[in-house]
Amino acid sequence: MSGPAWGDGTRSVRAGELPAVPGAPLRPSPVFAAPFHLADQPPRAGGADAYARTEQPTLRNFEAAVGELDRGRCLSFATGMAALTAVVMACAGAGDRVLLPADGYYTTRLLAAEELSRFGVEVGYVATLDIERVAAEGGLDGVRLVLLETPSNPQLDVCDIAAVARAARASGAVVAVDNTTATPLGQRPLGLGAHLTVASDTKALTGHSDLLLGHVSTADDELFARLQSWRNHSGSTPGPFEAWLGHRSMSTLDLRLARQGANAAEVAEVLAASPAVRGVRWPWRPEDPSFALASRQMLRPNGVVSAELVDEAAVGRFLAASRLWTAATSFGGVHSTVDRRAQWGGDAVAPGFVRFSCGIEDTDDLVADLSAALDALS
Ligand SMILES: Cc1ncc(COP(=O)(O)O)c(C=O)c1O
């Protein structure tokens, strides 16, 4: 169910909703089943569910909701990496050339280097800030799939999805956008010309740091069918409880993003004013190099800020002095977290580079705690 003029809060709650049934819960309870009673011959001829790896009602409701926010048809996956794997495996094969972001989520590069290469997929890497120029200079000729990640994780660079999509469509390449950081409320890649939008829903979409999920949405029926086959054959389907929790969690996406964005605006300023910090990045800060493009392309801010402390020891001292900034990887959750990215070995960042993920704590509390912890560094 959806109304064309509904705002983000309404759509977060109502997307994918079924017509009301008197006496039934407002949101259907999860249906826990692997096989279902079979009746139809051949199986599923009458539309009844048969086996939950391919389809099940709780997943359908969740996918309808996410697809409505993305403005496409959604397929949900067990993790974000399962969704990204599906994109590459469904769109490219032996001998195909794929372009990935050189500065995006590092496990995507590991997937390429350690798995795709074994299947004969040729992989090239382009930095987020360079892809528009490469596309304009004909660098997408002969490319089967180009994956963008904007804003990129963790350095928060932004590229022009519409410009790359125009060039890609002219040269016959499929464009997928990793939309994890922005979320479907913060950016709609399908409306900007991308064929696929893909995300880790482990992050802000579900936002409570207690779920692993991912999804791909598309408005292209042929790509949808290929992705669905991949998921059915590879078995990377989420279970009903995850799907139900994901659907329940996304009801508050608008509220959580609003608080996270408001917190990030303050946090970015406090970081920028501190002598212990340099290189603050938040695409919605007017001083940020991504500001102009982010304001044009994106729909709203989010809670991820990156910055550099002096070194690894400074990050340790910061964490020891803070009560509200918790050391944890991942981002987009209700807790405010700090991740020193160099510890994972996958990103080309300095030892003191940190990704701050602003949670939904009170802004005053978060800023007071941040200021006190930064003061402990001087
Ligand atoms: C931008 C981005 N894409 C994909 C993923 C992978 O998601 P998952 O951990 O749910 O597999 C992550 C995880 O951090 C991410 O940050």
pLDDT at 239 over 60: yes
Q: pLDDT tens, 57-74?
A: 999 999 999 999 999 999
Mean pLDDT estimate for the chain: 96
Does the beta carbon of 69 sit less than 6 angstroms from any atom of ligand 1?
no
Which residue type does 119 have?
A: F
Which helix (H) or strand (E) segment is 366 a member of? helix 363-375
Which residue's CA lies nearest to atom 10 of ligand 1?
80
Report the nearest atom of ligand 1 relative to the CA of 181.
1
Burial of 363 (0-12, 13-18, 19+ CB in 10 A): middle
> Residue 325's closest CA among 370, 355, 278?
370
Strand order in the sheet with 277-281: 277-281, 304-309, 353-357, 337-340, 326-327
107 Cα–ligand 1 center, Å: 8
What pLDDT, on a 0 to 100 scale, did the predictor assign at position 46?
A: 87
For the chain, which residues make up each domain, given as ranges?
A: 11-250, 253-375
Pocket test for ligand 1, best of 105, 196, 211, 331 (most atoms within 8 A of CB): 105
Can you give the pLDDT at residue 2? 56
The domain 11-250: what is its CATH number?
3.40.640.10
Q: What is the C-alpha to C-alpha distance for residues 142 and 173, in angstroms, rounded to an integer?
A: 8
212 lines ligand 1 (CB under 6 A): yes
- In CATH terms, are 11-250 and 253-375 the same topology? no
Q: What is the DSSP string of 85-121?
A: HHHHHHH--TT-EEEEETTS-HHHHHIIIIIGGGGT-
Residue 152 Cβ inside 6 Å of ligand 1? The answer reads: no
**Contact (Cβ atoms closer than 8 angstroms) between residue 311 and residue 351:** yes
Per residue in 5-35, pLDDT tens? 899 999 999 999 999 999 999 999 999 999 9
Q: In this predicted structure, what is the pLDDT of residue 337?
A: 98
Tell me the per-residue pLDDT of 189-235, one tens digit each, with 9 for 90 and over.
Answer: 999 999 999 999 999 999 999 999 999 999 999 999 999 999 999 99
Q: CATH homologous superfamily for 253-375?
A: Aspartate Aminotransferase, domain 1 (3.90.1150.10)
pLDDT of residue 50: 94
What is the Rg, in whole angstroms, of the alpha carbon atoms belonging to the chain? 21
In order of 238, 275, 290, the CA distances from 221 in angstroms are: 22, 53, 33
For residue 217, the SS3 value is: strand
Nearest residue to 182 via CA among 304, 95, 285, 62: 304
Question: pLDDT tens, 260-288?
Answer: 999 999 999 999 999 999 999 999 999 99
What are the phi and psi torsion angles at 148 (to 5°)?
-105, 155
